Structures are given as C-alpha cells and as structure tokens.
Amino acid sequence: MAEEAEGSQIKTQAPSLSGSQENGGVVELAVALGNGDNGEGNHNPDMYSQLVATVTLQQKEINSLNGKLEQVLQRLSKLESAASPTTQLRSGPLRAMAPPRSAPPTSRRQTIDPRQMRASRGSTSEDLTDSRRRVPATSSSSLHKRFQSKERVSKEVKDEPGMYRMYLQGRPVSFRLPEGYEQPVNPEPAPAPQQQLKLDWAYGYRGKDCRNNLLLLGSGEVVYFTASVCVIYDVDTASQRHYVEHTDDVKSIAVHPDKVTVASGQVAGHARPVKGAKGGSKAAATDPNFLPHIRIWSSSTLETLKVVGAGTLDRAVACISFSVTDGGQLLCAVDEHNDHRMSVWDWNKGAKGTKLAEMKASQDAVYQAEFHPTEANQIVCCGKNQLSFWSLDGKTLGKKMALFEKHDKPKFVTCLTFTSEGHVVTGDSNGNILIWNKGSNKISSILSAAHEGVVFNLAMADDGTLISGGGRDRLVKSWDLKEKTEMSCQLLPEEVGSSRTLVKRGDKYLVGTIKNSIVCGDNLSDMTSVKVVTQGHYGELWGLAEHNSSHHFFTCAYDNHVKLWDAAEHRALWDITLSESLHCVSVSHDGELLAVGSRTPNWYVYQVSSQQQLASGSCGSEQLECCEFSPDGAYVAFGSRDNNIYVYKIEGGASLKLAGKCQGHTSFVTHIDWSVDSSYLRSNSGDYELLYWEVSTCKQFTEGEKIRELEFVTQNCTLSLNTVGIWPAGADGTDINGCAVNRDKSLVASADDFGKVNLYSYPSRTPTANGHSYSGHSSHVTSVKFTCTGETMLSAGGKDSTVLQWSIVQ
C-alpha cells in the first residue's frame, strides 16, 4: 500500500522459514523471494506467481508420485503375503496408515496463495486407479496369483470385525463401526438434506487493500464488497441484501449513472476438481465463471444483466468505471496483467459486451481509472509513478502523461475525483492535493501538506466542498477549494483505522477504513462519535467459536484481535487486542471462560463477562492449531503443531495446571473432540490419523468395544465415520478444513478449500454424499459453527477475513 511506501506504522510479518513447517518452508521461501514492490507494498505479481506456482506444482507432483509409489509398494507387499502364509496384513485398530516421513502431505497451513495451491492440484481418484493398473503381470501364473491375492486381501479386510476403511490420496483411514451397524456394500450416496442455507449477514469490508469501493445508490443504500459478496446496506433500517454470483474475490466496483445498475470485477476464480475431467482443476478453470470478469447486475432485483471480459481480462479486475456523458453506455476496465491493460467496452452490445479498444496502461500498479464526468470519451488514470489522461477515438486509445514541472513528482498518485466544473483533483503519497484544470495535464494549484503522509481518498460534496482522508494521520478534512483553505479536521478512532473511501449520504458521512470497517457520522465536525456500520478482521481468520447458550460467538485472527459478536444484532460487543497473531479460540460450555491459542506456543484464558485475563502460558514449541474445553468445564485441551495435545486442569476457575501431554500423532494436530462425560478425547492430525485418548492418563487407547460406545459432544474432527460423506472424490486430505454438527445432530456443515460452505445430512457415512454447496467466501473457508438456537450457522473465511452468517431454512 502507499502508506507502507511512506513509512506507515502498519507492519507485516516476515515470512517464516521454520523447518518445522515441513515443505511449507520451501513455499514461504518462494514468497520471500518474490516479495517485490507493486505500488501497494505487496509482492511483485510476476515473480510471486511464477515462484509459488513452480514450487507448489513440484511439491504436488512429488506428493502425488509418493502416494502412487506407496500404493504400488502396498500392493506388491500384498502379493508377497499371498505367496507367504506366515505374512499377515498389517492393520491398526484406529490409526490411518501414515505417509513416509520423507514425503509428508502438503500442509493446509502453507503460507501461499490458496488459488495457486488449488490450481496445481493434480492427483485424482482416477490417477490412483491408473497406478493400480500398472502392477506388472508377466505370466498366467502371476496373473492367477494376483487374483488370489485380491480375494485374500478382500477377505482379510472384510473379516476385520467392525471396521470401515476410506482412502485419502491412496492412504487408508480406518474407523470403528457402531454396535449393530453394518456398512452396506457399494452404498448409494446419501440424499441431500431438506434444509438449506440463506446468507443473512456479512461481517467485513475489503478496505485493507482496495479503494473507491463504498458507493451510493439511488435508493439511498450503499454498496460495497467483502470476500466474493457484494453487500447492499440500508443505513436507515440497518439491513443487508447480497449479490452472491461471483466465484472469487471482488476487487473493484462501479455504479452506473442510473444509480441502479452496478458493475463488479473479480479475480481469477477456483473450482473443485471434477472427477473424470481431463486436467483436473485446470479443466474446471476453463469455465468462464472462474476467469477474471466483470458482472453487471441490478441492485434492485439482484439479477445478473451481463458478464463481460471473461477470457480477455487477466488475473484480476483492478478498477472499473462507467461513462457519464453518454448515460453509461461505455465501461472502462484495467486488469492486473503485467502491463495493466486498459480496455473500453460497449457493455450493452452483444451477449458478452463488445470490446472497443485496448491498450497497455502501465507496468506499475493502477489504482483508479475514471471516465471524465463532463468531457466525452476522456478517462483519467492514476497509480504508482503515474497520472495519465486518456482519450477514446473510435477504436483507438490515446494517452497523455501529467506534467509535474517544478513540483516534486510523487511516487504514488493514490486517488482522484472531479469538481463540478470538470477539474481533476488528485491526492498523492507526498500528502499533497493537486488541482488540474479541465483539459490540461499541468498543475493549476496545490494544497501542500494536506495530510501527514499519504492522501488515501478524495470526495466532492454537492456544495463543492472537497473531503479528504489521510492514511498515517487518520484525519478526515474538508476544504474550500476556491479559498484553498481547510474548513474542518477530525480524527477517526484508532480501532477503525484510517479512511479508505468516503461517501456523503444526505447529512451523513460513511467512511470505509483500512481495518475493514465502515463507520457512519452525522457530520465531519464530530467523527469521533461515529456509529459502526460493519466491522471485520483485517488479518487471516481461523478462530471461530459459538456460545453454548446464547446467540453470541467469538473470533480471533492474525490481526491480534479477539472479538465477541452478537449474531442477533449483527455487531461486535467487545474487542481485545493482544501482542501476537491468534489462530484458535474456544469458549467453555457455561460461557464463562474463553481460551485463545496463538501462532506461537502461547495461550490465554479470559473471563468473558469482564474481559479480564485470568491465565496465560505456553505449551510445546510451535503454533497452537486448535483448543477445546471439556463439557464439565474441568479441562481445556490445546492441539499443537508439534504433534502433541496438552491437557490443562482448570483449578478454582482462574488458574490452569498442566495435567498431561497426549503423545502419539506423527503430524500436527488439527481437530479435537471431547466425549460427553469429559473422560476421553479424539483427534485428527495432518497425516490423516484418528486417535483416541484417555484424559486421566493422557494415553492413547485402542479398545474397540469401548470406542464404539463413546459419544462426543462436538464434531470438530473431519475424519470420522460420521463424516465420510463430506469428503469429495479424489480428496487429498487438505480439502476439508473444518466441520460441525447442529444441536440436534441432524445436519453437518463443512468448510472447504474451494471457498465453499457445504451442508449434509448427519451422520454422513456413505462416500461422496449429496449435499448443498454455497458461495460467498473467496479463499479457503477455515471454520464453520452452528449457533445454539439451531436457526443460524456461521462460517469464517481465511484470507478474506470475513464471517458469513447463514439462516437455516426449509
């Protein structure tokens, strides 16, 4: 971001190259090497994309080949066992067959762009089938032995009492069957549930890295975006409506001169690989809906009117604008190609619009491109090292660069707007506001040092007052351009951050901020007493926990914040800031205690009512992946990336004492469930293990009859007999990040790596069960939870930092 170029106090965490993160460290190295400047302070898209794509593809190929090799070795071993009566088939009661330590599975916590990881997925169930077909048979006798071996293996697996086996990447995962339950042979996929989900509320706003994205509609509503959702917010009724047809991050938005039609541009999307499709996920990516494109839609009916640019635009749509002088017939777009190509479209012509002209805009980032409101076919464009004036003549675009002459040329021209007379007003990283006369590319006047550091946004009020928002100083100012004087100056609250976009609605001002919040004030003279319209996290979001007896829920993220939310009032009730990034959160069953795990071994326990910290400590040597309170409130367990589970005894309601350490996993612990009587734990790990533990001794136990009788309060573990059906065909073990069941245990929801929230009937014991799938998140969905009422479900997006609230409807 431009404020980073000016020495902003907003800091980013340097990539870690810890060997404990297995092959994720290689990818992080690629990210570090590609961390160049693109005008937003982020990585260079060329170098970043090439390095990450190359490294990730090589890792996936290695993992896939290792998986196939393991299958071949297993089958060869079985062939040998068929010839040797003394050799027995190895089987464990509950433990999945772990992959070789030399080739660990790809971690779902790798610090890479999830879209790159998804695009490079290759191994499908068909690939695994092909590898099985390659077992050599050189003679009729060896062929006979193969069939004998198959019969013997099938008989041994079938004779193993009360067991069911599923495969992930060719690796078997075994589950105990409940007493009296017999898994059917070749079962039909379970039907989808009668209930469905309807998006009710989106907590978040993308202000951390996007601009000019809070706009006013003719109805008096405002429109903005978060994740892949375009939100229409009614200020008077405090209600939301949602346009949810995008398949990935929305990056830009524009309102037509009719104040009803909206255009929104997205990044390249991703899709779950289709079983049987040639090319796996790459084949799915050829769907136009998953290419960068612009969707033009009605804000009144939420109906899609036109999809423009699919197959033409590259990577993402950085900025868009409707023409004004001709009533919005033309649409200008700048994509994120290496050359940031500008294209102009007659969007009403043809089924997919007609491109009139295209030209390279700049090799540097483009922040804003706007049609001139009073001059036909004129476009003004700003960004890193540039302010340019464009003219459209038929099918040709002409470009004229701004001349700064004796004035210092800023590194970033960050924003622009127009006066009623047609003059151009720009803000830059030097903190200056420049005025350029209509039709000229030379500066006519300047407001020097208007802000300390970067000027983030400019807006013109109906009375001709200019409003500006600063980055580092968090100030919102109003200016009399005729007198070149400052009229008012107000400081935004620190908790919402600096302004990113500002819009005036009647006598109210709405401000979108860099901390992904939108606030509303009655006037610029008192912006300190603002009302929060929406609030979100501004770091990667993993922690989500529901209150067991109210409509409250908790979140924590890499922005160091823990928040308590009210799902009924759609607002945050309190916010605690810690000194480090946070990864997991859990609330006790009585709602009194809150446990938070960080990206280090550190944990914290708070009293919910007073927000007072009761205890803190550390366990293990690495990041805490998950945490969970026991139903009786006597224990809290933390699952660590060091492969262990640390169980703490809660003493006196205010202190924690380590009761024991559960050791036995061969990879990082991903999920934990407590039994109803608080005596047992079950857990999953990164290499597809399902283990059971006795809490009193913290020892693993494998008593099959006892395991069959256990009942668990939650269904956090994605690998269990009751969640077999939530795994898609050809899943690689990282595709499902989390799951949860509702209170009456009739529904199970899953959070996947493809930006989807999925709903199935529970229990889901047949492979690839039928269910409902919902869009809204743009990156990997990290967690799902049902509220205690059974009427609402929550989902957390990782990179999109957004919480979506869903109503459960028949």
d(CA 619, CA 636): 12
- pLDDT of 173 above 90: no
- pLDDT of 333 above 60: yes
pLDDT: which is higher, 709 or 793: 793
- pLDDT of 444 above 50: yes
C-alpha 15: how far from chain center: 19
The closest of 521, 493, 517, 491 to 506, measured between CA atoms, is 521
pLDDT: which is higher, 3 or 786: 786
pTM: 0.80
- What is the reported pLDDT for 653? 75
Full DSSP string of 227-269? TTEEEEEETTTTEEEEE---SS-EEEEEE-TTSSEEEEEEB--
d(CA 486, CA 67): 67
Backbone dihedral angles phi then psi of residue 637, each to the nearest 5 degrees? -115, 140
pLDDT band for position 174 (50/70/90)?
confident
Question: Alpha-carbon torsion 436, 437, 440, 445, what sign?
Answer: negative
pLDDT tens digits for range 456-465: 999 999 889 9
- pLDDT of 494 above 80: yes
What is the 3-state composition of the chain as percent helix, strand, coil, each rounded to the nearest 5?
A: 15, 40, 45
Full DSSP string of 61-97? HHHHHHHHHHHHHHHHHHHHHHH-TT------SS---
> How many CA atoms within 13 Å lie on the side-chain side of 583?
20
The residue-averaged pLDDT of 595-605 equals 98
pLDDT band for position 31 (50/70/90)?
very low
Share of the chain above pLDDT 70, in %: 78
pLDDT: which is higher, 156 or 60: 60
**Mapping DSSP to helix (H, G, I), strand (E, B) and coil, where does residue 264 land?**
strand
- What is the reported pLDDT for 504? 87
The total number of residues written for the chain in this structure: 810
Provide the mean pLDDT of the chain.
83
- What is the reported pLDDT for 396? 94
Cis peptide upstream of residue 85 (ω within 30 degrees of 0):
no
- What is the reported pLDDT for 186? 65
**Mapping DSSP to helix (H, G, I), strand (E, B) and coil, where does residue 768 land?**
coil
pLDDT band for position 470 (50/70/90)?
very high
Worst-scoring range by mean pLDDT, 211-220, 279-288, 546-555, 558-567?
A: 279-288
Neighbours of 217 (CB within 10 A): 21
Pinpoint the alpha helices (H) of 253-323: 281-284
The residue-averaged pLDDT of 784-795 equals 95
The residue-averaged pLDDT of 578-598 equals 97
pLDDT tens digits for range 68-123: 677 677 667 666 555 443 333 233 333 333 333 333 333 333 333 333 333 333 33
Contact status, residue 770 vs residue 170, Cβ threshold 8 Å = no
pLDDT tens digits for range 355-413: 999 999 999 999 999 999 999 999 999 999 999 999 999 899 999 999 999 899 999 99
Residue that has been written with the tokens 């601009």 in this structure:
211
- What is the reported pLDDT for 308? 96
Token reading at 70: 């393991």
Amino acid type, 416: L
